[in-house]
Amino acid sequence: TDLPRSPPAAAEPRHASPAAPRRLREKLRTAARMAGPPAHTAPGSRLQVQGGERRAQPATGAPPARETRAPFRFDYERFRRSLRHPVRGRRPGEDPETRARRMKIKEMMKFAWDNYKQYALGKNELRPLTKNGHIGNMFGGLRGATVVDALDTLYIMELEEEFQEAKKWVEKSFDLNVNGEASLFEVNIRYIGGLLAAYYLTGEEVFKSKALELGEKLLPAFNTPTGIPRGVINLGRQDTRSLFSPCSGMSWSWGWASAGSSILAEFGTLHLEFLHLSELSGNPVMNIRKVLNRVEKPQGLYPNFLSPVTGNWVQHHVSIGGLGDSFYEYLIKSWLMSDKKDSEAKKMYDDALEAIERHLVKKSAGGLTYIAEWRGGILDHKMGHLACFSGGMIALGAEHAGEERKQHYVNLAAEITNTCHESYARSDTKLGPEAFRFDAGSEAMATRLSERYYILRPEVVESYMYMWRLTHDPKYRQWGWEVVKALEKHCRVEAGFSGIRDVYTTTPTHDNMQQSFFLAETLKYLYLLFCEDDVLSLDDWVFNTEAHPLPVNHTNFKA
């Protein structure tokens, strides 16, 4: 059933924010000192990120920071007043079919949540066939990835009871005192992003304090000669290092990444969340983007692997899909989140997109536009499902491209989104494969057995949502509805939703995983596709790469 409509933003619950924890303030201040003199001094002013030119040193041995400012307090009330639209929209008259479709997606979310809660609460993800939980090895001992990823979707869908269940789990059971190897990227986009979004949407203090506490545990990953973090970090307490946990706070590169390199899409996908940690704690963080801006780029392209020691590229593999994807996304979103003030990010985005278009964008014999991958100058005519976010990204940037370029980018975004839709339409299940190719006579289809699976990924419906908001062409809602029907038919099982192993058979086997991003992203973007534009308006919010909404800085949060 549909819940009562939300009141306008001004009437929604507000909660005062006490001062940020002193320990984090001091640590972030130390990090800021390492990066150079702060660009701000006024208490409570918008924090500026610092240049990453200086060599970052381990914090140990640094003189204690002197408290010279008044205790920082983030003003949540003032932030809420700065929003231009109520977060859950005003819902003017809409047609019954749109509403019914939205309600169907809400029912799917409730089903996904209820089954996770019943069989896997406290584990990271649900195994819907075996009806148990999955922990995985990406989150360094943290639990409840689905809870944290689902919070804002439950809230936006007005699943109030379920939101309270999730909140209660965070309050009572979400333990940050863990010791294990975590992906810095995954913890950042899912946990930090999810907690920040839940805080900004509701003002509930618990989400902010957990985000700040967890953010602090990630800081040691930035202690490299360039400030570019490594991919894996141990989340154990640093003060227990010698006793129980020899690796606590240490970081290292993925074993599979060439020559100890860091991954573009990983270190390039921290900026939005860390700016907000900075905003909420009152302290600046280091801006690793400066290193990337300075280093020479082959043909203007950004390779996927960079040494955190030398700041040089390690290998010339360029991809707008896996390993590269969200780096580009965070450039345009950094600019939008800064209320269009971060012109460095915008220029880097514009230049990167131009190079991508010049070198990677191709048209197939059948007239489909796609983005190939690049290996030292040789093109691989393959597009991953992950790369399908780019239709939405280019749509988002198109509006701000200047009159003469705008239509060009709207067309490019529409063509790429159409190609990704074709990868779905050409399968038997009407769901798309993990990767599809444009070679050996193939068009928008997987040609390898290992690329035929679908794991409930969001990128294609993400692009439908942005294209809908940009153009209001009804075909995007139609395409989104086709995905809903296919998910119901092929991925819904008795106890949740599962990925499938082969999109080219109408009787696919299931992979027994309900990914947390299905609740964070896939269902959220589908729901928003059938909402009015003022629900999580793009005037007020940018979505992190896990679809967690973070607010645009309209006011510099000044009184």
Residues marked active site are found at: 186, 325, 434, 459
Please say which residue, 202 or 326, places its beta carbon nearer to ligand DMJ.
Answer: 326
Please say which residue, 443 or 546, places its beta carbon nearer to ligand DMJ.
Answer: 546
Q: Interface with ligand DMJ includes 115 (CB under 6 A)?
A: no
Query: Distance between alpha carbon 407 and the CA centroid of its chain, in Å?
Result: 27
Please say which residue, 226 or 326, places its beta carbon nearer to ligand DMJ.
Answer: 326
DSSP, collapsed to helix, strand or coil, labels residue 458 as coil
HEC profile of 322-338: CCCHHHHHHHHHHHHHC
Q: What tokens were used for 468?
A: 């809908």
* Contacts (CB under 6 A) with ligand DMJ, residues 347-376: none
To ligand DMJ, the closest distance from the beta carbon of 220 in angstroms equals 23
To ligand DMJ, the closest distance from the beta carbon of 543 in angstroms equals 10
Name the DSSP class of 388. G
To ligand DMJ, the closest distance from the beta carbon of 267 in angstroms equals 13
* Contacts (CB under 6 A) with ligand DMJ, residues 448-477: 457-458
Q: Interface with ligand DMJ includes 391 (CB under 6 A)?
A: no
CA distance 356 to 333: 18
* Residue 438, amino acid: F
Q: Interface with ligand DMJ includes 326 (CB under 6 A)?
A: yes
Distance (Å) of CA 535 to CA 93, 157, 406: 14, 10, 25
Which residue number is nearest to ligand DMJ in terms of Cβ? Answer: 545
To ligand DMJ, the closest distance from the beta carbon of 432 in angstroms equals 12
To ligand DMJ, the closest distance from the beta carbon of 242 in angstroms equals 35
Distance (Å) of CA 213 to CA 71, 217, 368, 487: 17, 7, 47, 37
Q: Give the alpha-carbon dihedral of 316, 317, 318, 322, to 10 degrees.
A: -150
Q: Interface with ligand DMJ includes 423 (CB under 6 A)?
A: no
CA distance 51 to 32: 10
Query: Quick one: which of 466, 517, 527, 543 contacts ligand DMJ (CB under 6 A)?
Result: 517
Please say which residue, 51 or 391, places its beta carbon nearer to ligand DMJ.
Answer: 391
CB 28 within 8 A of CB 65: no
Q: Interface with ligand DMJ includes 546 (CB under 6 A)?
A: yes
Kindly tell me the burial class for residue 186, based on how many C-beta atoms sit within 10 Å of its own C-beta (0-12, 13-18, 19 or more): buried
Please say which residue, 31 or 187, places its beta carbon nearer to ligand DMJ.
Answer: 187
Q: What tokens were used for 135?
A: 């922990």
Neighbours of 421 (CB within 10 A): 24
Q: How many residues bind ligand DMJ (CB under 6 A)?
A: 8
To ligand DMJ, the closest distance from the beta carbon of 294 in angstroms equals 25
Please state the length of the chain. Answer: 559
Q: Is 545 annotated as a binding residue?
A: yes
Closest CA to 497 of 482, 486, 481: 486
Closest CA to 105 of 531, 538, 397: 531
CA distance 85 to 156: 14
Please say which residue, 461 or 531, places its beta carbon nearer to ligand DMJ.
Answer: 461
Query: Quick one: which of 17, 262, 545, 553 contacts ligand DMJ (CB under 6 A)?
Result: 545
Q: Beta 125-127 vs 132-134: how paired, if at all?
A: antiparallel
To ligand DMJ, the closest distance from the beta carbon of 487 in angstroms equals 15
CA atoms within a 13 Å half-sphere pointing along the CA-CB vector of 550: 32
Neighbours of 16 (CB within 10 A): 11
Q: Phi/psi at 486 (nearest 5 deg)? A: -70, -40
Please say which residue, 301 or 323, places its beta carbon nearer to ligand DMJ.
Answer: 323
Binding site members for Ca(2+): 545
Binding site for ligand DMJ (CB under 6 A): 326, 386, 457-458, 517, 521, 545-546
Binding site members: 545
